[in-house]
A and B are shown apart, each in its own frame.
Chain A
């Protein structure tokens, strides 16, 4: 059995002389019933530039990714390409490389991130998504680029498969209001992201029932039962998590 089914299809085309599997196994294949679309577990790698200028996979409390040490360095969980390669071997279904801070500056200038994606695509044969910076942009010379121009420009960088679909990311907050009047006085309590320990099942259910496109549930979770729950209780097509990858807390 070839380890990567997709690559085996390609290999068998390129080299038809490679031996065939046994007849009875093939006949069994023809008889089996088709299954259905699988739920995906997407691994999120939060990539930041550390003080030495290297891209590292990090993890933070909201936007604070620095260690609580004297050196106060950027939390370093490993090199993006090495980690991606490892989790690919471990069976990750897809990857999201996020760099919310660097892309804020000028997404087209983020060459190290683009290089990470190029290297990753040479070793990781599952879908890759890049996040951050896909928006309207005015450069230093006052040249305005609409969101689609920005996107088009990025697609010229010869990246792997990044542009076959567009993922919209929504970072919702659950807002508790005791008294409607309170809203006017801005005393609304906002639950900070990262404080929830599990997927917000109610919210994901509401959203996934309201739209006809695939929904990726995002949550700060690392436990297998949380994935089982979100897939059982909601219509989410995939679940995204960073903890599973960054800290190997789940197999």
Chain B
């Protein structure tokens, strides 16, 4: 499934994390420098070393893989397909896992989770983008959300995936904005993805731990 990100005519400046035996090393797979920096800083701050993904094998070897999102799947593909000049990274790890996105598209996603990523509707009286600190409605007892308590988490996005009967088993939390109760995080097995920004300033992050 990672081929989607690797298959560009120019290798992304990038980050993928892998764990190497006993040492605390995280493999980071990223699209571009800017957005990933704050995530790198956060991982280092927590006492982990980072190893960037250089080859597809690095991904297979990784025990912890951090996959930062990008801002718009379509824009990103186009960028790499073009002159590869600037990467407008930012937020999309979670959205990438769905069937398709209307952001800069429609474009196909990885199709792991049923559903289409669509924009918030500002005609319904909500401000778009959804920027700021919002609360989660916890849907699943998942360890990474253990400390959330009553705290809010930081979002910045204009597109969102909505819960449905088909994707319900993936959802670990939702967030309410206007009439929308969109998907804020997913968890299944060792795969975690969040729509919010755990590092508070970088992109949206998708995590996966190879089984």
Footprint of B on A, CB under 8 Å? 1-2, 4-16, 20-21, 26-27, 29-30, 32-40, 93, 118, 121-128, 152-153, 155-165, 212-215, 237-238
* Complex-state Cα separation, A10 to B64, whole angstroms: 11
Contact assessment for B132 and A214 in the assembled complex, using a CB-CB cutoff below 8 Å: yes
6 tightest Cβ-Cβ pairs between the two chains A and B: A34-B137, A35-B135, A8-B147, A160-B38, A212-B122, A158-B33
- Quick check: is B95 within 8 A (CB to CB) of the other chain? no
Contact digits for B128-144, partner A, Cβ 8 Å, 1 yes 0 no: 11111111111111011
| Subset of 8 A-B contacts with CB under 8 Å | A9-B153, A33-B137, A124-B201, A153-B86, A158-B37, A162-B34, A214-B132, A237-B131
- Interchain nearest-CB distance for A225 vs B (Å): 22
Contact assessment for B201 and A34 in the assembled complex, using a CB-CB cutoff below 8 Å: no
Footprint of A on B, CB under 8 Å? 24, 26, 33-35, 37-38, 41-46, 48, 64, 66, 71, 85-86, 88-91, 122, 126-141, 143-154, 156, 174-177, 181, 192, 194, 196-203, 205, 207, 209
A residues less than 8 Å from B86 (CB atoms): 152-153, 155-156
Contact assessment for A164 and B135 in the assembled complex, using a CB-CB cutoff below 8 Å: no
Determine which of A2, A10, A39 lies in contact with B199 in the assembled complex, contact meaning CB atoms within 8 Å: A10
> Taking CB as reference atom, which chain A residue is nearest B134?
A37
Contact assessment for A14 and B64 in the assembled complex, using a CB-CB cutoff below 8 Å: yes
Contact assessment for A164 and B71 in the assembled complex, using a CB-CB cutoff below 8 Å: yes
Contact assessment for B202 and A161 in the assembled complex, using a CB-CB cutoff below 8 Å: yes
- Interchain nearest-CB distance for A236 vs B (Å): 10
* Complex-state Cα separation, A153 to B87, whole angstroms: 11
Question: Residue among A38, A162, A163 with the most chain B CB within 10 A?
Answer: A163
B residues less than 8 Å from A215 (CB atoms): 127
B residues less than 8 Å from A155 (CB atoms): 34, 86, 88
Contact assessment for A9 and B174 in the assembled complex, using a CB-CB cutoff below 8 Å: no
Known contacts A127-B201, A161-B202, A213-B129, A26 near B146 by CB under 8 Å: yes
> Taking CB as reference atom, which chain A residue is nearest B41?
A122
Contact assessment for A9 and B198 in the assembled complex, using a CB-CB cutoff below 8 Å: yes
Contact assessment for B34 and A93 in the assembled complex, using a CB-CB cutoff below 8 Å: no
* Complex-state Cα separation, A7 to B201, whole angstroms: 11
Question: Residue among B38, B44, B200 with the most chain A CB within 10 A?
Answer: B200
* Complex-state Cα separation, A9 to B134, whole angstroms: 15
* Complex-state Cα separation, A146 to B66, whole angstroms: 35
Contact assessment for B147 and A21 in the assembled complex, using a CB-CB cutoff below 8 Å: yes
- Interchain nearest-CB distance for A166 vs B (Å): 10
Contact assessment for A34 and B174 in the assembled complex, using a CB-CB cutoff below 8 Å: yes
Contact assessment for A122 and B139 in the assembled complex, using a CB-CB cutoff below 8 Å: no
* Complex-state Cα separation, A26 to B141, whole angstroms: 7
* Complex-state Cα separation, A7 to B48, whole angstroms: 13
B residues less than 8 Å from A160 (CB atoms): 34-35, 37-38, 41, 201-202
Contact assessment for B33 and A161 in the assembled complex, using a CB-CB cutoff below 8 Å: no
B residues less than 8 Å from A26 (CB atoms): 141, 146
B residues less than 8 Å from A21 (CB atoms): 146-147
- Interchain nearest-CB distance for A159 vs B (Å): 5
